[in-house]
Amino acid sequence: MAQAGTAPQSSSPSSAQSSVEPSSQSSPPAAKTPQAPQSSTGQSSNDSGADTDDVLKIRVGINEVNVVFTVTDKHGRRVTDLKQNDFRIVDDSKPAAEVRSFHAETNLPLQVGLLIDASSSVRDRFKFEQESAIEFLNQTLRKRYDQAFVVGFDATPEVTQDFTDDTERLAHGVRELRPGGGTALYDALYYACRDKLLRAPQIGPTRRAIILLSDGEDNQSHVTREESIEMAQRADAIIYTISTNVSGTKGAGDKVLERMADATGGRAFFPFQIRDVSNAFAEIQDELRSQYDVSYKPADFKLDGHFRTIEIVANDRKNFKVRARRGYYAPVAQ
C-alpha cells in the first residue's frame, strides 16, 4: 500500500475533445493526499509513465456538457420512456441555450470503480459483501465493452485489480481483500476518481460510476469529504453507496454516504439485513441500464474554472423525479 504524499494537481471533468489545464481558482484547498498506491502485484497501478501535470489535463467540448441522469415516478420506480420535451435543463441558473442530443440510454460503455472498505470496522459481514460484489460484476460487465477496477482501503487504498473486462480477475481482486486497520474513505474516493477514472481513456460517451461499500466512517484521510466529492464531480462519476452499518439505525457515516450519492446523482442504499446487500447491487445494476443521456450547450458559458450548477427538471414534477449530478467545473481557457 502507498503512503500518504503531497497534494496533487486538481483536474476538471471531461465533456469531450480538446485539452486544457484547470486553474488554481478551481482547485481544492491544499491537503496531503495519497500517492498512487501499489497494485497487488507490486506494480504501480498507473499504466502511463506520464507526469501528473500531463495526465491530468482535461478534455472538453466547445461549450457542450454531457449529463447522465435517472428518472423515477412517485413510487420510486424507474421511468425510461420520456422524451426530450418532457424536461427542462437549467445550467448555472439559466436555461440551456441548446440541447444537442437526448437519448434514453441503456447501452453506453461503463467504467466502474468498486471501492470496498476493508477497515476493521466492517468485519461483521465482509465475506457476504465480497460475494455480492462479485455477483454484481458478473451480471453487469459486458466483455470488450465495459471495464471495472477494484480498490480496497483501510488506512490507505490498494488496487487489487486494475481496469479490466475480465470478471474472473476482478473476482480475484475482491477476494484478496482482508479487513483490518483504520479508515481513509475520503482518500480512497479521491484517489479512485483522480488516478483511475480521470486517467482512463474514453472513446465517445461513457458512463462512469463508483460503487462504494463502507460504513461512511473516516478517521485517517488527508483530504476532506467535500474535496473527495469534488474530485468525483470532476471525473463525471456517479457514486452509489452501500452502507455496511448493521446497527439498524442510520449513523453519522450513513449521512456521509447520502451526501456523496446525492452530490453526484447516485443513490445511497442501507441494507440493514445481510440479504438486502445483494438486492442493493441488483438495484444499481438495473439503474445503470435505465438512464438518460443528454448533451447541451449552456447559456453564458465561461472558461473560468468555476463550479456551475446543473438542474434537470421534469415538466411533470408531481409525478417524476430526476436524479443527476449537481454540477460540474468549467474548463479554463489557455
Residue 160 has pLDDT above 50, yes or no: yes
Provide φ and ψ at 250, rounded to 5°.
-70, 135
- pLDDT-based confidence at residue 272 (cuts at 50, 70, 90): confident
CA distance 271 to 217: 16
- Per the prediction, the chain carries an average pLDDT of 83
pLDDT at residue 37, as a whole number: 57
Give the residue with greater pLDDT, 124 vs 286. 286
Average pLDDT over residues 84-96: 97
**Within 10 Å of residue 2's Cβ, how many Cβ atoms?**
17
Q: Give, in degrees to the nearest 5, the angle at Cα 222 between 13 and 127.
A: 85
Average pLDDT over residues 253-281: 93
Average pLDDT over residues 257-285: 93
Residue 27 has pLDDT above 90, yes or no: no
Structural domain of 300: 1-334
Of 171, 185, 170, 176, the closest CA to residue 121 belongs to: 185
Sequence-distant (6+) residues with CB within 8 A of 16 are 59, 60, 61, 64, 66
What's the number of domains the chain is made of? Answer: 1
- pLDDT-based confidence at residue 334 (cuts at 50, 70, 90): confident
Give the residue with greater pLDDT, 59 vs 248. 248
**CATH code at 124?**
3.40.50.410
Where is 211: in which H helix or E strand? strand 207-214
Residue 11 has pLDDT above 90, yes or no: no
pLDDT at residue 331, as a whole number: 86
